[in-house]
Amino acid sequence: MKKASIAPSLLAADFGNLQRDVEMVNASEATYHHIDVMDGVFVPNISYGMPVVKAIQKHATIPLDVHLMIVDPDRYLEEFAKLGAHILTVHYEACTHLHRTIQAIKALGMKAGVALNPHTNVSLLEDIIQDIDVVLIMSVNPGFGGQSFIENTYDKIKAAKAMITRKNSSALIEIDGGVTTANSQKLVDAGADILVAGSFVFKSEDPTTTIKDLKG
Ligand code: DX5
Ligand code: ZN
């Protein structure tokens, strides 16, 4: 049976003990650190910026999966490359020239991800899916951790999977928001490759075991 890659979202970590939480994720079965950057414009919340990403990078021994919830992300691509982002994901809704942005991310040596808000149809990626490394399907409205999972996500995963196969793309499907062990297996069965989980991991009694359980 296929196993998911797990990307715990450090948004739910204890920032007073960031090194401890980064090291816990390093030593767990997680594949990536998921890093949520919010600007208070694209989403109604501000999370953290470069100094915090730098602090995470200093202690990380597994790749950084950086999710930019910011307007005009082109301004910062180079900086995130320097900060060691392995996957750099921008929002479809925040990019006027998405093709150009994706090429720029890849030219900087990073994997290019495109995130879709819950209202954005997967079919809009039809003309660009072959250039994308990761399709991030938001299963909550971006901006906050701890929200409940939107059930329509399963249909979106299936649509993305069908498009990826039909177009001969190697894009991975990542799901972000409201992921728990109550839906993780069903998400993988629908076609998800990477599962992001914030509060479910960090609010659990034993985050290391929770990450293992999410992996299935
Ligand atoms: C939401 C962020 C998510 C968030 C997930 O805007 O993109 O990565 O941290 O948190 P949970 O798992 O608590 O829904
Ligand atoms: Zn995220």
Q: Which of 116, 6, 108, 24 is nearest to 69 (CA)?
A: 116
Q: What is the CATH number of domain 5-215?
A: 3.20.20.70
All structural domains of the chain with their residue ranges: 5-215
The verdict on pTM exceeding 0.80 is yes
Residue 15 neighbours by CB under 8 Å, 6+ apart: 48, 52
Q: Which residues are annotated as a binding site for substrate?
A: 9, 67, 143-146, 176-178, 198-199
Ligand 1 contact, 113 CB (< 6 A): no
**Cα 135 to averaged position of ligand 1 atoms, centre (Å):** 16
Q: Which atom of ligand 1 is nearest to the CA of 9?
A: 9
User: Which listed ligand is nearest to 143 at the C-alpha?
Assistant: 1
User: Which listed ligand is nearest to 38 at the C-alpha?
Assistant: 1
Q: Which atom of ligand 1 is nearest to the CA of 143?
A: 6
**Cα 143 to averaged position of ligand 2 atoms, centre (Å):** 9
Answer whether 178's CB lies under 8 Å from 149's CB: yes
For residue range 193-207, what is the model confidence (pLDDT) as tens digits?
A: 999 999 999 999 999
Answer whether 117's CB lies under 8 Å from 138's CB: yes
**Token pair recorded at residue 5:** 């890659």
Q: Which residues are annotated as a binding site for a divalent metal cation?
A: 34, 36, 67, 176
**Cα 68 to averaged position of ligand 2 atoms, centre (Å):** 8
CA torsion angle for 190, 191, 196, 202 (degrees, to 10)? 50
User: For residue 135, which phi and psi values (nearest 5 degrees)?
Assistant: -105, 115
Q: Which atom of ligand 1 is nearest to the CA of 142?
A: 6
Q: pLDDT of the chain along its 216 residues, tens only?
A: 789 999 999 999 999 999 999 999 999 999 999 999 999 999 999 999 999 999 999 999 999 999 999 999 999 999 999 999 999 999 999 999 999 999 999 999 999 999 999 999 999 999 999 999 999 999 999 999 999 999 999 999 999 999 999 999 999 999 999 999 999 999 999 999 999 999 999 999 999 999 999 999
